[in-house]
Amino acid sequence: MHSELPGEVSGPPPVKPIVEFHEVSKWYGNVIGINKLTINIPAGITGLLGPNGAGKSTLLQLATGQLFPSQGRVRVLGREIWNCPSLNSQIGLCPEQDAFYEWMTGWDFVYTSARLGGFRRSDASDAAKRALDAVGMTKHQGRTVRGYSKGMRQRTKLAQALVHDPKVLFLDEPLTGTDPLARRDLIDIIERLGSEGKSVLVSSHVLHEVQTLTPNIILLNRGRLVAEGQVREIRDLIDKHPHQIVLVCDQYRQLAGQVLAWDDVESVRILRGDKGVIVETRSPDAFYSRLPELSLADGLAIREVYSDDDNLEAVFKYLVNK
Amino acid sequence: MKQTLASASDRDSLSKEHEFASPTPGSSSLVAIWSLYVLTFRQHLHGRRWLVMAILFSLPVGLVVLIRATAPEVPPVNLEFGIAFMLIPQALLPIVALVYAAGIIRDEQEEQTLTYLLIRPIPRWAIYSVKLLATLTTTVLLTTVFTALTFVAIYVGSESSAGEVSLRCLKTIAMHDLAVVAYCCLFGLISLRTNRTLVFGIVYSIIFEGVIANMPFGIRLITVIYYCRSIAYQWMEFKWNRYGHNIDLAADAWKFDPKLMAEMTSIQTCVTILVVASLVFAVIGSLMCARREFHVKTPEGN
């Protein structure tokens, strides 16, 4: 960048972080949720990775102004987020909890979210239409939320987060509990949001999920920042540990037989009570990429996919002790 | 131990200059607040609670029908006093207020939907105020409708003139509405301080509105029901002519001395005290809501 002022140092323009945490701690009584966290999250898609209890949800609740930091300062788009309702027009949150006004239809839920965002009737109607269309829920918008599948519920939650066209999106475990097809669709939607210029902070305890969305990640463990940066280097560490994936399916024995035939699968364990299998693999990317097709195969409707974070815990231990 | 696995320039390549946001076009805080009011009102209609309340409120009507069917000699004024001025304000209204007001914020918290309100451009104080206002609307509507029904059940087929009964009914509705508003504001405030609002509310109703309010001492000035009774006593007559003697039902039951009418708290003062107390409770509740954070359970947190 060229400077006309004498004595001024030329260089790239300063990048304003979207979310700033400065020496932030959050305690719940004696329990520490976040511990002296200082981090600047830039524009674009950023993954927030950590095992359960790492402080991801606390971080997101602080970043969306739901919680007040016990110590330190949280700023979003350059402004303190706590008790700043006007800033809420610029941010959207897809919360982790599977909570809705169950008696509403999908349309009603998203339309009401737009109205709560301050949109007048016709604007709210247009916004709800756009948001439901963006997440592929137009076809099901007339049904009550109570009857939705997990994937539909996640999409509807995403639609309410998008309805007011926010600049920054916080997505808390958006893929949890979804089937392989819904998972792939949701990943596509989030990628598209990123390419449309929205800043997205997406939390997960599964590296693979985050990795498909962005190379840029933040690793949290026990409320502390463990690492931040490009996913590749963390990925190498994780690949040293076998990856455990749980698949829930009524025909779990047939499913076990199918996946065991794959070269990259090291072991398969049957979870009889849960009607599922635990698959151990060192090539999760290849494994995940084959799942949608497997799910579509005859009678093998995989209802749920989730990853045990034992392997992630091992990596965290490694990183912390290094 | 913190590790930085990529240089700042790597990260910056993903970033772009952020233009700071301006308010969303077409949006308005009033629209958001109105929507929250409508949402809360709809929640009241969709829950089973209003059905339970309707059944509860039907009890006085049922009781009147039962008494009239089994003891037709009981005069309407006695029925009116016993049901509309004793049972409803002392037992029913605190319960109705308690059930609705205790859940103003807590229901959203327990159903984990509070998040959807906290992330909207609505100030925290307004979330409480608007939800309280919607709660008052629901409880006042229920109280009005069922008080009127109780009067219909008491006086239908009696010799009393329709004009006189209508006037008494309107006065009673006004008194009941004042009471239920005061109870809602009080219990709403309590619900922000404790998880055991129902226990506190029941204990309060029994001790304060049940026992203390019936003591002929100054301490009853701290109860809601005392002011409602004072209004009713100065506004209406509760005389029952028995064997040629006029019996003042209210003076006996409420421990009021008819000779000291001039020294009683005036109707205007009673109304002012109830309205101001309700407003004070509501404002304190809103201020508390503005300052405190609400922990909504997340699956991870669980």
Mean pLDDT of chain B: 85
In terms of CATH architecture, what is A19-236? 3-Layer(aba) Sandwich (3.40)
Looking at the predicted structure, is the pLDDT value of residue B137 above 60? Answer: yes
In terms of average pLDDT, the best of A41-50, B13-22, B215-224 is A41-50
Residue the block writes with tokens 């001024």: A8
- The pLDDT of residue B241 is 72
- The pLDDT of residue A254 is 85
- The pLDDT of residue A322 is 53
CB pairs under 8 A between A and B: 183
- The pLDDT of residue B4 is 44
Mean pLDDT score, B259-274: 85
Which residues in chain B touch residue A103, judged by CB atoms under 8 angstroms apart? 46
Rounded distance between C-alpha atoms, residue B137 and residue A171, angstroms? 36
Q: CB-based contact (8 Å) between A233 and chain B?
A: yes
Q: Which residues contact A97 (CB under 8 A, 6 or more apart)?
A: B112, B115, B296, B297, B298, B299
In terms of average pLDDT, the best of B137-141, B206-210, B231-235, B289-293 is B137-141
Closest to A88 (Cα-Cα) out of A166, A202, A16: A166
pLDDT-based confidence at residue A200 (cuts at 50, 70, 90): very high
Q: What residues does A304 pair with on adjacent strands? A: A248
Angstrom CA distances, A36 to A23, A47, A224, stand at 5, 20, 7
Scanning every residue of chain A, which has its alpha carbon at the shortest distance from the alpha carbon of B109? A99
- The pLDDT of residue A14 is 57
Which residues in chain B touch residue A172, judged by CB atoms under 8 angstroms apart? 298
Q: Which residue has the higher pLDDT, B1 or B210?
A: B210
Closest to B26 (Cα-Cα) out of A168, A93, A134, A124: A124
Q: pLDDT tens digit string along B167-189?
A: 999 999 999 999 999 999 999 99
Give me the interface pTM, i.e. the ipTM: 0.82
Out of A90, A97, A319, the one facing B112 most closely (by C-beta) is A97
Q: What is the DSSP string of B84-129?
A: IIIIIIIIIHHHHHHHHHTTTTHHHHHTT-HHHHHTSS--HHHHHH
* Contact (Cβ atoms closer than 8 angstroms) between residue B174 and residue B112: no
* Contact (Cβ atoms closer than 8 angstroms) between residue A48 and residue A228: no
Looking at the predicted structure, is the pLDDT value of residue A167 above 90? Answer: yes
- Phi and psi (nearest 5°) for A261? -75, -15
- The pLDDT of residue A238 is 64
Mean pLDDT score, B43-56: 84
Q: pLDDT tens digit string along B185-213?
A: 999 999 999 888 999 999 999 999 888 88
Q: pLDDT tens digit string along A271-308?
A: 877 788 888 887 877 888 888 778 776 667 788 887 76
Residues 173-232 in A contacting B (C-alpha not used; CB under 8 Å): 173, 176, 197, 199, 214, 216, 224-230
Q: Which residue has the higher pLDDT, B219 or A320?
A: B219
Q: What residues does A170 pair with on adjacent strands? A: A93, A201
Looking at the predicted structure, is the pLDDT value of residue B8 above 50? Answer: no
Closest to A244 (Cα-Cα) out of A208, A274, A216: A208
Q: CB-based contact (8 Å) between A118 and chain B?
A: yes
Looking at the predicted structure, is the pLDDT value of residue A317 above 70? Answer: no
Which pTM was predicted?
Answer: 0.81
Closest to B179 (Cα-Cα) out of B92, B265, B55: B92
Rounded distance between C-alpha atoms, residue A127 and residue B24, angstroms? 12
- The pLDDT of residue A237 is 65
Rounded distance between C-alpha atoms, residue B95 and residue B99, angstroms? 6
Q: Which fold has domain A241-321?
A: Alpha-Beta Plaits (3.30.70)
- The pLDDT of residue A258 is 85
pLDDT-based confidence at residue B10 (cuts at 50, 70, 90): very low
pLDDT-based confidence at residue B282 (cuts at 50, 70, 90): very high
What CA dihedral angle connects A247, A250, A252 and A257, to 10 degrees?
Answer: -110
Closest to A18 (Cα-Cα) out of A57, A46, A56, A58: A46
Angle at B261 (CA atoms; ends B258, B264), nearest 5 degrees: 125
Q: CB-based contact (8 Å) between A156 and chain B?
A: no
Domain regions of chain A by residue span: 19-236, 241-321
Q: Which residue has the higher pLDDT, A261 or B166?
A: B166
Residue B173, helix vs strand vs coil: helix
- Can you list the positions of beta strands (E) in A196-281? 199-204, 216-221, 224-230, 243-249, 265-271, 276-281
Mean pLDDT score, B36-52: 89
User: Would the CB atoms of A85 and B123 count as touching at under 8 Å?
Assistant: yes
